[in-house]
Structure 1
Amino acid sequence: MKALVLAGGTGSRLWPITHTAAKQLIPVANKPVLFYGIEALVMAGITEIGVVVGDTAQEIQAALGDGARFGARVTYLRQDRPLGLAHAVRVARDWLGDEDFVMYLGDNFVVGGIAGVVQRFRTTRCGTRLLVTKVPDPSAFGVAEVTPEGRVVRLEEKPARPRSDLAVVGVYLFTSAVHRAVAAIEPSARGELEITDAIQWLIDSGHDVVAETIDGYWKDTGDVADMLEVNQRVLADLEPAVRGAVDSASVLLGPVRIEPGAEIVRSRIVGPAVIGAHTTVRDSRIGPATSVAEGCAVIESDVEFSIVLRDARITGAGRIEGSLIGRAVQVTGAARTPQAHRLVLGDHSRIQLAS
C-alpha cells in the first residue's frame, strides 16, 4: 500500500507568510505540519510515499529529503498547477500503479494518527473509505451524506445548502478503481478536477464508499486561526524538558520545553510553551500556547497564544497575542505613541494600529 501526500497548494489563506514559505512547512509546536502527516503514515505501516509538489517543490524537498529520517522512501511528483485533488491523483497515476493507496492532504492535522482506519481498510478492502467529522459550518468543506450503516450516498463540494453536517477530512483510502473515476470526470465550475466528483462517480457506478467518523481532533490548517488552534492543541500534550540555560531570576510554570542552546534570562515562561534552540528570551514573558522557533530573540516583550518562526526578533513590543510572526521578522516598540506610523508591509498583509 502506498501513500500520496499533497503538498502543492499555494496557501492563499495564509498570505503573506506563504509568499515566501510552503504552507505545509509552517511549524506547529516547532515542527512542520507536513511532518506530522508523514509520521502518521509511517506509524500506519506505509513507507512508500509520493509527495505531490508545485511551486514550493525545492523547499518541500529540502525539508523531507529522501524520507529516510522518517523511516520512509519519498518520491516527488510534480504538479505544474494546483488543478484539484483529483488532478493530483492523475499526476501520480504511473507511480501509484494498481496499488491501494492513502491520499493525505499535507496541511491537515489528525490527532491520534490513521493506523486504525488503514488497518480496517486493509481488512475489508471496500472500494473507498473516507474520514468524516461533524463541523458547525459544513458549507466550507466537502460534505458527505451518509446512511446509518455508514455508506456514502452523496458528496458535494462546498455546497450552499449542505445535506449533512459531516465534512470530509483530508484523508482518503482508495483502490485502483479511483483512476477510472478520475479519468471520467470533467473540471468543475472552479476549473478543477474535484475528488468529490470522482468519488460520486464511484458511488453512481455501484462501488462501495464507506465513511468513518473520527472521534479525535482534526483541523485543516488553512488560515492563521486554524494554525494557532492546532498549535495550542499540540502543546497541550507537551512533555516538559529544560535543555537550555535558565537563570535563577527566571520562572518556568507548567509544561515548558527549552531546547538546547536557548537562554532564558530574568523572564517568566508559562506553559504549555516551547522555546526553540539558540533562542534568547530576556526580561520578557512567554504565555501559554506559544511556540518560539530556533534562533529568535524576545526582549522586553510579552508574547502569548502565538507562533513565532525562526530568526524573528521581538524587542520592546509590549503585549503580542494571537499572532503568527514570520521568519526573520523584526518587531520593535515605539519610544512614544507615534504621530504617524512607518510601515513596510508585503502584499495581503493584515495589521492593526492604535489610533
Structure 2
Amino acid sequence: MKALVLSGGAGTRLRPITHTSAKQLVPVANKPVLFYGLESIAAAGITEVGVVTGDTEQEVRAAIGDGSAFGISVTYLRQEQPLGLAHAVLTAREWLGDDDFVMFLGDNFLIDGITSLVGEFEATRPDAHILLTRVADPSAFGVAEVDGDGKVVRLEEKPQRPKSDLALVGIYLFTAAIHEAVAAIRPSRRGELEITDAIQWLIERDFAVGSTLIDGYWKDTGTVEDLLEVNRIVLERLHARHEGSVDEDSLIVGRVSVGANAEIRNSTIIGPAVIGSGARVHGSTIGPFTSVADDCEIIDSGIEYSIVLKDSRIEGVRGVEASLIGRNAQVIAMPQAPQAHRLVLGDHSTARISA
C-alpha cells in the first residue's frame, strides 16, 4: 500500500499566516500539522509516500526532505492548479500504478492515527473506504447519506441542504478502481473534480464502498480556531521535560516542556505548555494550552491558549489569549494609550481593537 498526501492549496482561511507559509506547515505544539499525518502513515507500516504540492512546493520539500526522518520514502508530485482532490489523484496516476493507497489531506489531524483503519481496509478490501464523523455544520464538508444498515448510499460535496450530519474526514482508502471513477467524472459547480463525485460514481455502479464512523478526535485545521483547538488536544498528551534553564524565581506548574537553551526568568509557566529551544521568557506568565516556538522572546507579558511561531517577540503586553502569532512578528506595548490606531494590515487580515 502507498500513501498520497495532499499538501497544496492556498489556505485562504488562515491568511495572513499562509501568505508566507504553507497551511500544512503551521505548527501545533511546535510541530507542523503535516508531520503528524506523516508519522501516522509511517506507524501504519506504509513507507512509499507521494506528496502532492502546489505553489508552496519548495517550502514543503525543505520541511520533509526525502522522508527518511519519518521512516518513509517521499516522491513529490506537482499539481499545477488546485482543481480538486480527484484531480490530485489524476496527477498521481502514474506514480500510484495499480497499488492500493490511502489519501491523506495534509491539514487534517486524526489523534488516534490510521493504523487500525488500514488494517480494517486490508482485511475487507472494498474498492473505497471513507471515514465519517458527526459535525454541527455539515454544509461545510462532503456529506454522506447512509441507509438503516449503515451502508453509504449517497455523497454530496458541501450541500446547501445536507441530508445528514455525517461529514467525510479528509482520509480515504482506495483500490485502483478509483482511477476509472476520477477519469469519468466532470468538474463540479465549483470548477473542481470532487473526490465525493468519484466515490458516488463507484456507489452508483455497485462497487464496494465501506465506511467507518470514527469516535476519536479529528479536525480539519483550516481556521485559527481549529488550530488552537488541535494545539490544546495535543498538549493534553504532552510529556513534561526541562532541558532549558529555569531560575529559582520562576514557577513551573503542571506538564511543561522546556526546550534546549531556553531561558525562563522570574516567570510562571502553567501547563500544559511547550517552550521551544532558545526561547527567552522573562517576567511573564504563560498560561495553559500555549505553544511558544524556538527562539521567541516573551518579556513582561501574559499569554494563554495561543500559538506563537518562531522568532517572534511579545513585550509589555498582558492579556494575550486565543491568538496565532506568525513568524518574526512583534507585539509590543505602547507607552500610553494612543489617541489613534496606526495599522499596517495585509490582505484578508483581521484586527480586533478596543475602541
For 2:50, the equivalent position in structure 1 comes to: 50
For 2:62, the equivalent position in structure 1 comes to: 62
1: CA distance, partners of 2:146 / 2:122: 21
Gaps of 5+ in 2: none
Aligned letter for 1:126?
Answer: P
CA drift of 1:150 comes to: 3.2
Aligned letter for 2:188?
Answer: S
2:107 corresponds to 1:103: no
Aligned letter for 1:112?
Answer: D
SS state at 2:40 partner: helix
Aligned letter for 1:91?
Answer: T
Matches within 5 A, 1:8-157: 8-157=8-157
For 2:241, the equivalent position in structure 1 comes to: 241
For 2:333, the equivalent position in structure 1 comes to: 333
SS state at 1:317 partner: coil
1: CA distance, partners of 2:60 / 2:149: 40
CA drift of 1:151 comes to: 2.1
CA drift of 1:30 comes to: 0.3
CA drift of 1:148 comes to: 3.8
2:263 corresponds to 1:266: no
CA RMSD after TM alignment: 0.7
For 2:210, the equivalent position in structure 1 comes to: 210
2: CA distance, partners of 1:286 / 1:215: 32
SS state at 2:219 partner: strand
Higher mean C-alpha displacement, 160-169 vs 86-95: 160-169
Aligned letter for 2:14?
Answer: L
SS state at 1:121 partner: helix
2:196 corresponds to 1:184: no
CA drift of 1:246 comes to: 0.3
2: CA distance, partners of 1:196 / 1:249: 57
2: CA distance, partners of 1:30 / 1:229: 14
SS state at 1:55 partner: coil
For 1:201, the equivalent position in structure 2 comes to: 201
Higher mean C-alpha displacement, 335-344 vs 35-44: 335-344
For 2:228, the equivalent position in structure 1 comes to: 228
Aligned letter for 1:106?
Answer: G
Aligned letter for 2:13?
Answer: R
Gaps of 5+ in 1: none
2: CA distance, partners of 1:172 / 1:149: 21
For 2:283, the equivalent position in structure 1 comes to: 283
SS state at 2:230 partner: helix
1: CA distance, partners of 2:211 / 2:156: 14
2: CA distance, partners of 1:305 / 1:180: 46
1: CA distance, partners of 2:113 / 2:308: 26
Matches within 5 A, 1:306-317: 306-317=306-317
2: CA distance, partners of 1:81 / 1:270: 44
CA drift of 1:152 comes to: 1.0
For 1:159, the equivalent position in structure 2 comes to: 159
Cα deviation per residue 1:100-127 (whole Å; 9 max; x = unaligned)?
0000000000011010010111111111
1: CA distance, partners of 2:162 / 2:90: 28
Aligned letter for 2:68?
Answer: A
2: CA distance, partners of 1:75 / 1:354: 49
Whether the aligned pair in 2 keeps the contact of 1:243 and 1:260 (CA below 8 Å) is: yes
2: CA distance, partners of 1:228 / 1:18: 16
For 1:173, the equivalent position in structure 2 comes to: 173
1: CA distance, partners of 2:320 / 2:271: 16
Cα deviation per residue 1:297-352 (whole Å; 9 max; x = unaligned)?
00010010000000000011121000000000011001111011122221111111
SS state at 1:347 partner: coil
Cα deviation per residue 1:25-75 (whole Å; 9 max; x = unaligned)?
000100000000000001011110000000000000000000000000000
1: CA distance, partners of 2:349 / 2:277: 28
Percent identity (aligned): 62
2: CA distance, partners of 1:342 / 1:277: 33
1: CA distance, partners of 2:148 / 2:37: 30
2: CA distance, partners of 1:346 / 1:276: 27
TM-score normalised by L of structure 2? 0.99
Whether the aligned pair in 2 keeps the contact of 1:258 and 1:274 (CA below 8 Å) is: yes
2: CA distance, partners of 1:86 / 1:150: 25
Aligned letter for 2:303?
Answer: V
Cα deviation per residue 1:129-148 (whole Å; 9 max; x = unaligned)?
10100111111110011234
SS state at 2:200 partner: helix
1: CA distance, partners of 2:246 / 2:147: 57
TM-score normalised by L of structure 1? 0.99
2: CA distance, partners of 1:348 / 1:313: 23
SS state at 1:219 partner: strand
